[in-house]
Amino acid sequence: MRYFPAFLDLSSRTSLLVGGGELALRKLRLLLKADARVTLVAPRLDADMAALADDSRVEWMCRPFMAPDVMGRALVIAASGKPEVDEDVAAAAREAGIAINVVDRPDLCSFITPAIIDRNPLVIGISSGGDAPILARQLRAKIEAMLPARLGDLVRFAGSFRSAVGATITDGGKRRRFWERFFTGPVAGEVLAGRETAAREAMLGLINGRAAQDREPGSVAIVGAGPGDPDLLTFKAMRRLQEADVVLYDKLVGPEIIDYARRDAERIYVGKAKANHSKSQDEINALMAEHALAGKRVVRLKGGDPFIFGRGGEEMDYLESRGVAVEVVPGVTAAAGCAAAAGIPLTLRGTALAVTFLTGHAQDGEPDLDWASLASGKQTLAIYMGVSTAAVVAGRLIEHGLAASTPVVVIENGTRADQRVVTGRLEELGDRLQTAGINGPALIIVGEVARKAMTAEDETLTAELAALPRALAV
């Protein structure tokens, strides 16, 4: 994040605007919306600009810019449309240590103005850091279409009751939850419908009612974060993260997903890797119960889906046996997400009529599986946590009848920017993993559907060889 987002109160200080044309007009409108006092410097003004400059908050200096004009200003905006003038304004502002914005010149700016959604007093700013202002405006239009017209009325309504709520509900956690219920409840609906008198009566009942004072029970949401790509997080998972007081997260959950949690939420790393557990499962269970029984909303955030090799069922049983309310929010499991990212269908008519999820993890070096069943029929095997036991698994499948030439694909860091795909035959699986240096989280897919990845890899290699000079290719 290059620019620090902030909202400035300009009502008690004067800002400087240099320019008298269309570029300056847009900035002047924005400054006056913020109730700023504006010193306008320009030798001449366009007709629309001249009409707006009649506002009592605007002082027009009918002359070219001079460096001392910047002194004592809250901020300076250069919008003359003349590069040499705008550069002089920027240089003078920087010399005086005053924030400067130059229209369409992000290289000269110390601050930029975002695309704005105005539901006064609610204001939303969207910035691309000056790199893609058209995209920021398109996003603004999409968000505008989603927001109720009376959203500003709702903000003012809530503000008028803020002191009363603070005096009545003194506990910070209870107060936050009161407001969360309010903004999604019927009273807010009355305000948005324009029935503010009825809303005020109902609001007084909410504030003085017993429900506002009662301690809310805590809860745990066991949330699947998906295989790694933040865009695969579900809407419900996002909501639970933003509501959580405490987030317990695994090693496979990336920082981009953790950042969706409330900034004031407590974040506890409980990741586990082979022979390296920051917290045991018993400790994780106890932590969840402790925080929930203290009245907090807990999110147990897991990679993939919590009910597919994620111990979500064990955690749910533990919590429910202690009277803790539990919700499970499913996630995109690694098999579905990684296979899709690699362009591999898990089932394919006439080729793979079933898919089996299995774990390669084992305490004694070999997972206890029904090898004969796994080696038979037209099916796809999706192997989780199987990197360290890959050679053993391949050997057992071949022993029980699966062809040694069966295609396999290994997807490391699936769906992420650093995703790697390694292909081969079942008989060489262990060697391929070792040669490729696969050691991160990886999914192994065994079956004819993996041939699609092998074909894609061969086509890529052929294209790369074709691009080489002939002597090198040979």
Mean pLDDT in order along the chain per 10 residues (474 residues): 89 94 95 95 96 95 97 97 96 97 93 91 91 92 90 96 92 86 88 93 86 74 95 92 93 91 92 70 96 93 95 96 95 96 93 94 81 92 94 95 96 94 95 90 94 66 46 40
CA distance 121 to 308: 46
**Tokens 């001079």 found at:** 66
pLDDT the model gives residue 131 = 87
295 within 8 A of 215, measured Cβ to Cβ? yes
pTM above 0.75, yes or no: no
Residues 6+ apart with CB under 8 A from 9: none
Residue-range domain boundaries for the chain: 14-113, 151-213, 219-332, 336-457
Which one of the listed residues 250, 296, 302, 452 is annotated catalytic? 250
3-state secondary structure of 17: strand
258 within 8 A of 249, measured Cβ to Cβ? yes
CATH topology assigned to domain 14-113? Rossmann fold (3.40.50)
Active-site residue flag, 259: no
pLDDT the model gives residue 217 = 81
pLDDT the model gives residue 470 = 46
Give me the half-sphere count of Cα atoms (radius 13 Å) on the Cβ side of residue 440.
15
CATH number of 151-213: 1.10.8.210
Q: Which amino acid is at 281?
A: Q
Which one of the listed residues 82, 236, 251, 272 is annotated catalytic? 272
CA distance 271 to 286: 15
For residues 107, 256, 239, 125, the Cα torsion angle rounded to the nearest 10 degrees is 0
Beta strands in 151-265 (DSSP E): 219-224, 246-249
CATH class of the domain at 219-332: alpha beta
Active-site residue flag, 82: no
CATH number of 336-457: 3.30.950.10
269 has which bridge partners? 249
Residue 115 vs residues 33, 128, 443: alpha-carbon distances, Å: 14, 9, 42
CA distance 394 to 225: 30
For residues 390, 391, 396, 398, the Cα torsion angle rounded to the nearest 10 degrees is 110
pLDDT the model gives residue 456 = 59
